[in-house]
Amino acid sequence: MLKHILTSLTGGPVTEAAPSPADPALAELAGKLDKAAKARLGRSLSIREVDAGSCNGCELEIHALSNPIYDLERFGIRFVASPRHADVLLVTGPVARNMREALIRTWDATPGPKWLVVCGDCAVSGGLFAGGYACVGPVEEVLPVDLRIPGCPPRPTDLLAGLLALLETSAAR
Amino acid sequence: MYGEEPLFGLLNRIGTPVESHRPWPRYRLGRDGWLRLIEELAGNGWSLLGLWGEPKAVHAAFREDFSGDVAVVSLDCPQGRFPSLSAVRPAANRLERAAHDLYGLVAERTTDPRPWLDHDAWGVRRPLSEQPAAPVPSPGPYTFLPVEGEGLHQIPVGPVHAGIIEPGHFRFTANGETVVRLEERLGYVHRGVEGLMQGRPVAEAARLAARISGDATVAHSLAFARAVEAALGIEVPARAVWLRALMAELERVANHLGDIGAICNDAAFAFMLAQTSQLRERVLRTADACFGHRLMMDRVIPGGVATDLPERGAGLLRDLVAELRKRFPPLVAIYDGKASLQDRTVTTGFVSAELVTRFGAGGHVGRASGRDQDSRRSPGYAPYDELTFEVPVLTEGDVNARVWVRIREVEQSLSLIEQIVVRLPAISRGLDHPSVPVEAGRGGEGMALVESFRGEIMTWVRLDGEGAVARCHPRDPSWFQWPLLEAAIGGNIVADFPLCNKSFNCSYAGHDL
C-alpha cells in the first residue's frame, strides 16, 4: 500500500486533459442563465443524479467521471447525496411512469437557481422505450430541460464536455 | 433429497411435449399435472429457472441440477388462474406477482398476493393481457409487511438513493442500530420491455435486450441471441462464438473490478476504488478499441456478432491481460492485509447455503454460499467446452466471500481472454463480420441460459411465422438474489447495508424490466 501511495506521489497524476466544452451544448445554454445565477454559482456546481428508468448504462459512465482518469472534481463539479444540496439535476432514462412522481418531487426539493441536464438517448428522446405504457418518454415532457447530452450511453468525455459547457456558461462574463 | 424422480420421467407422465421448442423440451400440463408437479417440487431439489405469463397461460422452467436436465412446463389458464408455486419455490412469488401485474394471471394460494411491478402509475392495469383494464380510481398506498415490537423504528430509503445508483425502495425496521427486517419494494424502473418486444422484428428486439441491464448488456444480448438461434435452428459462425465469449469475459472483468473497488469504498476505503476504477477504465477502453463501444452494447446480435476484432485487437488484449495481471494482485494483497477492511467485510451480510439453494440463487451470491453452479459449465455452451477454467466456490456466505469469489473470477476471466486470443487466429474471418442472416418467415420457441457477471440469465422466446417476436421473457439473475439481500442484512447494523448491497449488486433495471 505504501508503495502504491509513493508511486502515486512520484508518478504524476493519471488524470487526463479535459475536452473542450461541447459547442452545441454551449449554444443550447446561451441565454439560459441570468446574471444573478452566474454570480452566485461562480465556478462550482453540485449535481444530484436521478435515474428515471435508465438501464444503468448511463450510470456506469457517470460513475466513471469520478475515477482518477476523468476526475470531475478538479473542475469544481461534484455529485451530492441530496437534491437539497444540488444546483443541477442530472437525469437519465425514459421517465418510467413508476418514477415520474419521484423525479418531480426531487426537482421540487432542489433549491433555485437550478438546472436540469438530461443524459443519454432515453432521457433526450425516450429512445427505444418511447410509446410504451410504462414510460412517459423524453424528460422534457415532465420537466423543463436546460441541456441535453445524447449517447447510448454518452462517453465520459461527452459528459465532461457537456458539464464543462454548463460551468463555462454559468461562469462567463 | 435430490433426484427421487428424474425431471423428464415425471414430465413425460404428466404432460405432453410441445413441438419446435429448443434446445430443451417444453411440456404442456393439465391442471392436475400442474398440481402433481407442485407435490413433487415439495420433495425434490429442482431449481426454478423462471416463471412467466402470457395472456391465457403460465410457464415455468426447471433444472435438475445434478444431471443438468432443463425443461419448461406450461399450463393453459383460460380463467386466468393457476395454482401458485410460491409455497414450494419461494423465488416464484415475485415472478408470479409480476405475471399478475402484467397479464392479470391470479396465483391461487400464493404466499403473498400484493402487487409488485404495478405502482398504479401506468394509467392501465394488466397492460399485456387480452383485455387491459382501467386503472384503480383512487389507489391506496402499498402495504408493507407489519412489524411489531418494543423499541422498533422504521427507516424508509428511496426510490431516489444518495449515490449514483438505480432507484428502488428499502424499508428498514431497526432496533437501535441493528436491522430487524428489510423489505424491498421494486418496480420503479419498469419500462415495459416485454411488451415493447412483442411484435418487433428480431433485430429491433435485440436492441431492447441489450438495454435490459446496461452493465450486463453483452450477457443479455447473448442470451436473447442464443434463444432466437435455438428457436430457428440457426448455427452461428465459429468465429462469432469465440468473439461472443471474449466480449462476455471482458464485461465480467470490468464489472467485478468496479464492484470490488466500490465495496471497499462503502467500507470507507476509497483507495481501492481509486485503483480498481482505473483498471476498469482500462478494460472499457480496450473494449472500445476492439469493438467500437465501451460497454460493447449491440455488438452481440442474433446470428452472430456485429463487428469483428480489428487486426491490432489481439495485441491490445494481450497487453490488457498482462497489465491487469501486474496491477491487480498487489491490490488483492492490500485487501487481504487491511484489518480495518476485513473487520467490515468478514462475517457481514451472511447468507446460508440452505437459503441460496432454496431460492436457486446463482452468480457470486450463490457461489459464495456454496452453490456450485455456473451455466458456462452446466448446461454449458460453446466455446467454454473447449476452454479451461475453474468456477470458484466458497462457503462462508459473507461479504468477504463474495469479494473473493469476484477476485477469483477476475483471474479466471483473464485466463479465458488469453486462451481465446490464442485460439482466434485459427478461426477464419468472414468477409465483413461473422454472422449469418436471421431468416424471416419461420417460427419456433427457444431458450438459452447464459452466465452474466451477476449470475445465470434465462431468456425464453417465441417467434411468429413472420420472424417477429411473439413473446420474450428475459429473466435476470437478480430475481433470485434480491430476496436474499433481505436475509443478508438481518442482524447487521444499518451502516453495513451499503456493503451488503454492493457485494450483491443486484440489477434494478434487469429485474423491473
B281 touches chain A (CB under 8 A): yes
**Residue entry with cell 437534491:** A83
pLDDT in tens, A19-28: 877 766 666 6
A125 to A63, A130, A131: CA distances (angstroms): 22, 8, 11
* Beta strands at B26-29 and B69-76: parallel, antiparallel or unpaired: parallel
**Contact (CB<8Å) B166/A98:** no
> Model's pTM, two decimal places?
0.94
Give the number of residues written for chain B. Answer: 513
Contacts of B107 (CB under 8 A, 6+ apart): B81, B82, B83, B84, B85, B86, B96, B97, B99, B100, B113
Percent of chain A with pLDDT over 70: 86
Peptide bond between residue B477 and the one before it cis (omega within 30 degrees of 0)? no
A102 touches chain B (CB under 8 A): yes
In chain B, positions 128-157, which contact chain A (CB-CB < 8 Å)?
none
Strand order of the β-sheet with B152-157 is B152-157, B169-175, B178-185
Residues of A in contact with B280 (CB under 8 A): 64, 67
B115 touches chain A (CB under 8 A): no
Residue of A66, A133, A155 lying closest to B124 (CB–CB): A133
Alpha carbon of B18: minimum distance to chain A alpha carbons (Å): 32
Residues of A in contact with B214 (CB under 8 A): 54-60, 153
A106 touches chain B (CB under 8 A): yes
Of A133, A157, A160, which to mutate for an interface test with B (greatest number of B Cβ within 10 Å)?
A133
What's the CA gap between B313 and B17, in Å, rounded? 46
What's the CA gap between B480 and B361, in Å, rounded? 5
Nearest residue in chain B measured CA to CA from A68: B274
Q: Would you say residue A142 has pLDDT above 90? A: yes
Burial (CB count within 10 angstroms: exposed 0-12, middle 13-18, buried 19+), residue B388: exposed
Of B211, B272, B285, B453, which to mutate for an interface test with A (greatest number of A Cβ within 10 Å)?
B211
Confidence of residue A10 (pLDDT cuts 50, 70, 90): confident
Report mean pLDDT in 10-residue bins for chain B, 513 residues: 69 90 94 94 91 96 90 95 95 96 95 95 94 90 91 93 92 94 96 96 95 96 96 91 96 97 95 96 97 96 92 95 97 95 95 95 96 93 95 96 97 97 81 73 90 97 91 97 96 93 96 94
A104 touches chain B (CB under 8 A): no
A121 touches chain B (CB under 8 A): no
At B75, which amino acid appears?
L
Residue B199 per-residue DSSP state? T
Of B126, B189, B511, B513, which to mutate for an interface test with A (greatest number of A Cβ within 10 Å)?
B189
What's the CA gap between A89 and A66, in Å, rounded? 17
What's the CA gap between B84 and B93, in Å, rounded? 8
Q: Would you say residue A172 has pLDDT above 90? A: no
pLDDT attached to residue B43: 87
Tally Cβ neighbours within 10 Å of residue B451: 25
At B304, which amino acid appears?
G
Residue of B167, B211, B338 lying closest to A51 (CB–CB): B167
In chain B, positions 369-398, which contact chain A (CB-CB < 8 Å)?
none
Alpha carbon of B214: minimum distance to chain A alpha carbons (Å): 4
Residues of A in contact with B119 (CB under 8 A): 97-98
pLDDT attached to residue A27: 61
Measured at the CA of B424, the angle between CA B423 and CA B425, to 5 degrees, comes to 100
pLDDT in tens, A55-92: 999 999 999 999 999 998 888 889 999 999 999 999 99
**Contact (CB<8Å) A55/B190:** no
pLDDT attached to residue A26: 60
Residue B365: which of B488, B273, B265 has the closest Cα? B488
**Contact (CB<8Å) A54/B159:** no
